[in-house]
Amino acid sequence: MIEVLFDNRQDFMEIKEENMKAVEKAINATIEFEQAEGNFEVSVSFVTNEEIKELNRIYRNVDSDTDVLSFPMDDEEDQEGVIMLGDVILSTQKIIEQAKNFGHSLEREMIYLTVHSMLHLLGYDHMMEDEKEEMRDREKEVMKSLQLFK
């Protein structure tokens, strides 16, 4: 079981019920692809460029905006046996900008960023070239399973 908690702290993009369902589906698909077992909780926040820039500066010491931030938790189960995977922070302004630049839908961009962030929550990184390749391959496979990979 996966519980997804949503928090919409922006007004640049309307977040519809179908968007939240698509994000939940992407989260589930990523967890299934990684064959992670257990009861999980993930929070997803929709924010402005200004807020994500501030979070990036505070937590990563990078003074610029970005499209998505991932904040993994410690993976310990709570009293109900739920594993808190962490937080996904999405900039809706970047979603709009990147969807336009890449020529695909807002939802497709949102889903890709969610999958990317979920892989971070599950322990993947892309600091080294081999890690980047592995992460990109996994993103492609999850996106294919969602029928969203070109």
Binding residue positions: 116, 120, 126
What string of pLDDT tens digits covers the 150 residues of the chain? 899 999 999 999 999 999 999 999 999 999 999 999 889 999 999 999 999 999 999 999 999 999 999 999 876 677 778 899 999 999 999 999 999 999 999 999 999 999 999 999 999 987 778 888 999 999 999 999 999 865
Q: CA triplet 105, 114, 132: central angle to 5 degrees? A: 105
Tell me the CATH number of domain 2-145, given options 3.40.50.300, 3.10.129.10, 3.30.390.10, 3.40.390.30.
3.40.390.30
pTM to 2 decimal places: 0.94
Where b means 16+ CB within 10 Å and e means fewer, 68-89 reads bbbbeeeeeeeeeeebbbbbbb
- What size, in residues, is the chain? 150
Binding residue positions for Zn(2+): 116, 120, 126
Domain ranges of the chain: 2-145
